[in-house]
Amino acid sequence: MKSLEIGVVEDELVIARTIINTLGELGYSHCGPVINYTEAIQMIEENKPDLVLLDIQLAGKKDGIDVAQKLNELYDVPFIFLTANSDIETIDRAKKVKPYAYIVKPFTKEELYATIEIAFNNFNDKRLERKTDKFEEKPSKDFLFVKVGYVFKKIFLSELLFMESDANYVTLHLKSDKKVIARSTLSDFMEQVGQKIFVRVHRSYCVNINLIEDIFPTELSIQGMQIPIGKSYKEELFKSLGIDQV
């Protein structure tokens, strides 16, 4: 069985090296360490770790809780907070982003192992529940309703070119050149659509593969508009289209 790949976000390099050595002793692979918000998002985007060990205090203005918020918005990756702070204010902030566990430094090898295994197991259980719920839900539709202000607007999926994410908002681009903006995340919208014709090609874009016109090395075109292709999403896109990259 493939060992878990653990992403390490820790700005104290001595502690980071200790964590990496401990992960190796426990049989895990790792990516990182990285020390700030920007590096953390880049590592997650490029390496797609199975789980992230996330220090709350990081170099720079944005901290580990900001990284966690982005993980919740854009990525389906569990994370465990590592911190030397166990004060009420820090814990209250941490609870809001729903980590799978919270470890106070210093911790032992045994504590780290138990926490990783339990957190990843719980994550897999929740993911399985979500998939099961999807199969038990209503049959797939060729439309969805999007709340815009006080109105629920009907969108036919065949008219939907692509979805574009910007923080907590998603813009739906339609064939008619109209745009519908809704307060949601891209992941939530993809779950709501629930059809294989919509594939994520970038952390901020999901496209209707039936309407793709051309594919270039780093972007694709739909109705004359250029959409970037993220490196980590290219393989899944080509697989969905039945394209052999060789």
Q: Which residues contact 195 (CB under 8 A, 6 or more apart)?
A: 140, 157
**Cα–Cα distance measured from residue 37 to residue 43, given in angstroms and rounded to the nearest whole number:** 10
Does residue 246 fall inside a structural domain? no
**Distance separating alpha carbons of residues 208 and 211, to the nearest angstrom:** 6
pLDDT tens digits, residue range 85-110? 767 888 888 888 999 999 988 899 99
pLDDT beyond 60 at 139: no
Model pLDDT for residues 46-71, shown as the tens digit of each residue: 998 999 999 998 988 899 999 999 99
Given this model, what pLDDT does residue 1 score? Answer: 44
Which segments of the chain are extended strands (E)? 5-9, 29-34, 51-55, 79-83, 101-104, 143-148, 151-156, 160-166, 169-174, 179-183, 198-202, 205-208, 214-215, 219-222, 225-228
pTM for this predicted structure: 0.56
> Nearest Cα to 76, choosing from 114, 32, 120?
120
CATH code: domain of residue 176: 2.40.50.1020
Domain containing 48 equals: 5-135
Domain count for the chain: 2
Residue 227: its pLDDT value, please? 95
Mean per-residue pLDDT of the chain: 87
My answer on whether 73 and 178 are in the same domain is no
